[in-house]
Amino acid sequence: MNVPNQFIEMKSINKLGTGKVTAHKLCVFFNYLHEKHSKDYQNATNNNVLKFIDYLIYGDVTELRIQNPQNSIAHSTLVGYVSSITDFYRWLDQNYGSEMTFYEVDKKVKPQSYLYGQIYNYKHTRIINHILPDTKGSREYIKWYTVEEKSILLRNFLTLRDMAVFMLTLEGFRIDEVLSMQLRDYNGLDRLIQPSRSKRKQSATANQTNRLRTIRISEETATILNQYLFEERTFAENKSLEVSDDIFINLRGATIGKPLEYHNYLRILKKCAKRSGLDSKKIRTHSGRSTKVMEILEDNALNPEDTKSDIEIMRYFGWLSMESITSYMNYNSEILANAAYKRTVGAKDD
């Protein structure tokens, strides 16, 4: 299947695992179309996708093979199937198109809704949420580190490199941004640093200007980072004979000198949490950034005369809109609650 395989190859560019998962889900869908409807992917309709959703949830009702409720499909898995299918048809529509025509009874369909657009524009996830609510709930994480938690984690890293990565996330960087940092983008004297990639998107090639934000990091972070560069990184680079522009590299083993990857660092962070007496299952790499957001907001509340503007905050975290801050906020912050009280009724009490 040359056309679907082109899509799988595209999905595998950033991460091979993504391509594998997508291929599996599309294979299940294609087999369903062939076995139950004698169709291939080019002739699928919205109705086929909806029946496929029913098939995954309930089993094959026509042949009385009903799903055991204890083995029912998870909400997240079902959404993953729909995402893979709709992403595929969106890509297919943009790259190939088709001669097939969809019909809807008693409803006028806009021209752009013909062909594959009826599949990828249809809100299948609304159907899923109505039939199969997400009863599993969201996973519980430590979203904001306390001062004590930050301190104990920093004491339990085994290398300066791992400590430096963690401290840079506490400066507000995403983990992908930290792991993309290049030597040429770090000014150790002035403590200025910038990533070369954000959300897996490359900012610039070697011959272009890096347009991502530059941040002045704390003296404590710069000290640990400089120490890592002069000691551990220099030793690993000399031993491996690998010349790399990446700041963070592997320090030992068969991949010594190669760039440090996300999954390797996540494993290191969880082991550090376990040594620290924290629940490693509640540890994630994004909590340092959330913690920095709350530190700035609480500092604004405590020191209104030095309040950072929305533009400054947006620039600091690399946001296009202040709406992005909502997912990082701790609405149970006592500092923010007290500050809000003083701005409203507190002054009257005084």
Mean pLDDT per 10-residue segment, the chain (350 residues): 90 84 92 90 85 80 58 73 86 70 46 55 63 56 94 96 97 94 94 85 56 92 97 95 93 94 95 95 94 94 90 92 90 88 66
pLDDT of residue 349: 56
How far out from the chain centre does Cα 34 lie? 34
- Pair 164, 294 in one domain: no
DSSP tag of 44 = -
Same-domain status, 9 and 111: yes
Same domain, 75 and 156: no
- 317, with CB counted inside 10 A (0-12, 13-18, 19+), is buried
Residue 68 lies in a domain: yes
Is 266 within a domain? yes
Q: Is 246 helix (H, G, I), strand (E, B) or coil?
A: strand
310/249 same-domain check: no
Which class for 345: exposed (0-12), middle (13-18), buried (19 or more C-beta within 10 A)?
exposed
Question: Is there a domain that residue 137 lies in?
Answer: no
The boundaries of the domain holding residue 72 are 2-131
Q: What is the pLDDT of residue 91?
A: 87
Task: Say whether both 179 and 270 belong to one domain.
Answer: yes
Residue 118 confidence (pLDDT): 60
Of 267, 285, 303, which marks where a domain is finished? Answer: 285
Per-residue pLDDT at 113? 45
CATH number of the domain residue 278 falls in: 1.10.443.10
- Residue 167 and residue 221 in contact, taking contact as beta carbons nearer than 8 Å: yes
Q: Are residues 280 and 333 in the same domain?
A: no
In a domain, 57, yes or no: yes
Global pTM reads: 0.63
Q: What are the DSSP E strand ranges found in 111-199?
A: 186-187, 192-193, 197-198
Assigned domain for 142 exists: no
Measuring CA to CA, which residue among 56, 108, 111, 114 is closest to residue 85? 56
- 279 and 303 together in one domain: no
In a domain, 321, yes or no: yes
Count of domains for the chain: 3
Residue given tokens 């995402």 in the structure block: 83
Same domain, 16 and 50: yes
- Please indicate, yes or no, whether residues 278 and 154 belong to a single structural domain of this protein: yes
In a domain, 140, yes or no: no
Task: Please identify, among 242, 257, 285, the residue that sits at the C-terminal boundary of a domain.
Answer: 285
On whether both 164 and 252 belong to a single domain, the answer is yes
Residue 271 lies inside a defined structural domain of this protein: yes
Which of the listed residues 131, 164, 191 is the one where a domain comes to its end?
131
Cα–Cα dist 227/229, whole Å: 5
pLDDT at 288: 95
Residues 186 and 308 in one domain: no
Residues 275 and 344 in one domain: no
Contact in structure between 169 and 288 (CB atoms under 8 Å): yes
